[in-house]
Homo-oligomer: A and B are copies of this chain.
């Protein structure tokens, strides 16, 4: 069994944003030399997500609006978590809707995807360097 570990670092300038990381994850698969196996990609921060969906600007605007409806950022006093001095209570909720991680099959050395599947890093409390983990096992 082979295994490979890699961190990817990002700074999303605003509070929230999505970045397509599919190419970087495929590069990690290439480096691993795993032909068949599983690839875990997870946020290492608890106010960020990794998810799979479409790389379409309108959809990302829809996610932004919808997540703000489900768990609004302001007023920050609505979240007990913010009594700790944080202002990111909403980000911990948004991340649960979008998910912490994805597990992707590797087949013949490629991420085994349907035609529109793309992997995104979803940031809900940006403005600083944060990272995610890629862990690959297989043979």
Residues of A within 8 A of B (CB): 1, 3, 5, 36-38, 40, 42-46, 51-54, 56-59, 61-63, 66, 70-71, 79-84, 89, 92-93, 95-105, 107, 112-117, 131, 133, 135, 137-139
Q: Which residues of the partner chain B approach A62 to less than 8 Å between Cβ atoms? A: 79-81, 89, 92-93
Q: How far is the CA of A38 from the CA of B133 in the complex (A)?
A: 13
Are A138 and B138 also in contact (CB < 8 A) when A3-B36, A59-B81, A131-B114 are?
no
| Cα A51 to Cα B104 with chains together (Å) | 15
Total copies of this chain within the assembly: 3
When chains A and B are docked, how far (Å) is the Cα of A2 from the Cα of B133?
22
A46, A70, A81, A113: residue with the most chain B Cβ atoms closer than 10 Å: A46
A1 and B138 contact, CB distance less than 8 A: yes
User: Which of the listed residues A63, A114, A117 has the most CB atoms from chain B within 10 Å of its own CB?
Assistant: A114
Given the complex of chains A and B, what is the CA–CA distance between A81 and B75 in angstroms?
28
Question: How many angstroms between the C-alpha atoms of A82 and B37 in the bound complex?
Answer: 36
